[in-house]
Amino acid sequence: MSEESASRHAGDDGTGAAGTGAAAGGGPGVRRLADWDADDLLDLRRQYGSPVYALDLDRVRENYRRLDAAFPDAAVHYAAKANALGHVFEVLDDEGAGVECASAGEVVRALDAGVPSDRVHYTAVNPPAVDLDTVVELWTDGVAADVTVTVGAEDTVARLATRGFDGRLCVRVNPGVGAGHHEKVRTGANAKFGVPRDRALDVAETATQAGMDVVGVHAHAGSGIHDADDLDAHREMVARVGDVAREFDAVHDLEFVDVGGGLGVPYREDEPALDLDAVADATRDALGDVDAHLVVEPGRYLVADAGVLLTDVNTVKETPDTTVVGVDAGMTTLARPAIYGSYHALRNVSADAVGDGHREDGASAGGDGRGVVRATVTGPICESSDVFAEDRPLARPVRGDVLAVGNAGAYGYEMASTYNSRPRPATVVLADGAASLARRRETLSDITTLEL
């Protein structure tokens, strides 16, 4: 990407993003799909093919700095499940962030990226034996000597003990209150996650008797917390985990209280940026006085608006009810719309690149004179759920156009699959005005190589 191109990509203020809700040191508080330069996106498509994920590492850094400024007395641990690309780990490690891992695989990838083990938390949710074996082996070998294992069941303590683990342990508490953008991600009130509050001290005692060092308590309300109702639930969750921490104070010398993450981003064009300062103030007030430092675990907030998905239009079909626009990405590429009914902004960047820009609501204006249609954008998967958007205003597409899907940096590639034997896309990273291939496009031979 040229210096001129990088300047366009950065936006008028040169921060690498544009939008409203700016905070000191961290860039604007929201980045819309309309803020990405259409010519730059088309350049990426021409160079790297379609479909392709593009991730702006400078924006990831901005998002971290904004969050760090709002929580100056807290440790920020990135929730790796949002996007476990090694480049993301490296940027956040450079900023001093820790990493919260939901699997042994994420632990290994964080360590491989250079994140020190004293900043790695492994949150074991009903962990498979191979996960525990892997993490304990890394701990035994000294590769992850200072890793913290978070348990949500007394069984997990026993399983760790049988493997000889006597390291750092955190107890995950079920707060009994959940929040988030969809019922499938509201973990706080789901019995799957965490120890009942009235059993937390007993589980900690069992761990202590097994020689483990109980260093923290943890709870998490859910994912995609954004509106007032979600914030109220988050506040209640934090208050409850604060009460648990104070109960622990009499018995255990806690280092930290981890209140999870789940901070949301505005997926719709008319949604405001998250009031991060309000969330931070509510978190501190709800937690109250505890003799331990605060840990927060954002995932989506750091990477969502740093990424876009580019996909080619291959079919345009007029029907009595809508214009069906077929693209070469599908639910195997970006699963969130199919799983959660999630909204992602869409833009015809081919129309914008040759026209005079885009509308304030984020939909393409059809600047080249082709006009706007109500479109249903679908993928190539043989499922009726393989739909990115229905009846969405879009600059009238023609075969060969390139569409961009916004807020694709979180839970995009991480949830991709090879269903229908479709290889997963490539990933490009942007940093300091330059683009580079971070992950090559999968091939059919990659998919079949495991077959015997």
Going residue by residue through the chain, which has 452 residues, state the pLDDT in tens, using 9 for 90 and above: 433 333 333 333 333 333 333 444 578 888 999 999 999 999 999 999 999 999 999 999 999 999 999 999 999 999 999 999 999 999 999 999 999 999 999 999 999 999 999 999 999 889 999 999 999 999 999 999 999 999 999 999 999 999 999 999 999 998 775 443 434 334 444 567 679 888 899 999 999 999 999 999 999 765 556 665 667 777 888 888 898 999 998 788 899 999 988 888 999 999 998 889 988 998 999 999 999 999 999 999 999 999 999 999 999 999 999 999 999 999 999 999 999 999 999 999 999 986 444 333 444 444 556 799 999 999 999 999 999 999 999 999 999 999 999 999 999 999 999 999 999 999 999 999 899 999 999 999 999 999 99
CB 267 within 8 A of CB 230: no
Q: Are 394 and 375 in contact (CB under 8 A)?
A: yes
What's the pLDDT at 229? 64
The single-letter code of the amino acid at 214 is V
Residue 253 CB partners (closer than 8 Å, separation 6+): none
| Residue 327 CB partners (closer than 8 Å, separation 6+) | 51, 311, 312, 313, 314, 377, 378, 379, 380, 388, 403
**How much is the pLDDT for 236?**
84
Instruction: Evaluate whether 16 touches 62 at the Cβ level (below 8 Å).
Output: yes
Name the catalytic one among 129, 228, 382, 452: 382
Catalytic: 382? yes
Give residue 267's identity as a one-letter amino acid code: Y
- Domains annotated for the chain, with CATH where assigned, are 1-57+304-452 (2.40.37.10), 58-303 (3.20.20.10)
Task: Return the bridge partners of 426, or none.
Answer: 52
> How far is Cα 236 from Cα 239, in angstroms, rounded to an integer?
5
Residue 20: the pLDDT is: 37
Amino acid at residue number 255? E
Q: How confident is the model at residue 190, as a pLDDT?
A: 54
Query: What distance in Å separates the CA atoms of residue 316 and residue 323, rounded to the nearest whole number?
Result: 7
pTM: 0.88
Is residue 194 exposed (0-12), middle (13-18) or buried (19+ Cβ within 10 Å)? buried
Following DSSP, what letter does each residue of 60-127 receive, concatenated?
A: HHHHHHHHHHHSTTEEEEEEGGG---HHHHHHHHHTT-EEEESSHHHHHHHHHTT--GGGEEEEESS-
Dist CA 171 CA 215 (whole Å): 8
Are the C-beta atoms of 57 and 91 separated by less than 8 Å? Answer: yes
Tokens coding 263: 């901070």
Give the pLDDT of residue 1: 44
Strands 402-405 and 346-348: antiparallel
Residue 90 has what pLDDT? 98
